[in-house]
Amino acid sequence: MRWHRSRRLVLKEYDCVERFAANAAEHPSEEVRAAGIEAIMHAGWPRFAELLRAMAERDPSRSIRKLAKRNASVLEARIPAAP
């Protein structure tokens, strides 16, 4: 029972971060987009590397593109290599 509760909390947290990050990635404010990257990195889940790669390729701000690229690399380094 306890395991199921903690798993649900983790999934809810992931859901919240995912929604915030996806919305922040498209926000007109550079500060909000940077906060989205910060939230992604706080969560630290490698699944978000794809979103960061997309931001690194098409964000209008050079500083956000650099930040997204650098952090995508950090998350990708956490993905275990295939056997």
Please say if the pLDDT value at position 74 is more than 90: yes
Contact 47, 80 (CB under 8 A): no
**pLDDT tens by residue, 17-68:** 788 888 889 999 999 999 999 989 988 888 899 999 999 999 999 999 999 9
Q: Where are the domains of the chain?
A: 2-77
Q: How many Cβ atoms sit within 10 Å of the Cβ of residue 50?
A: 12
Look up the pTM and report it: 0.78
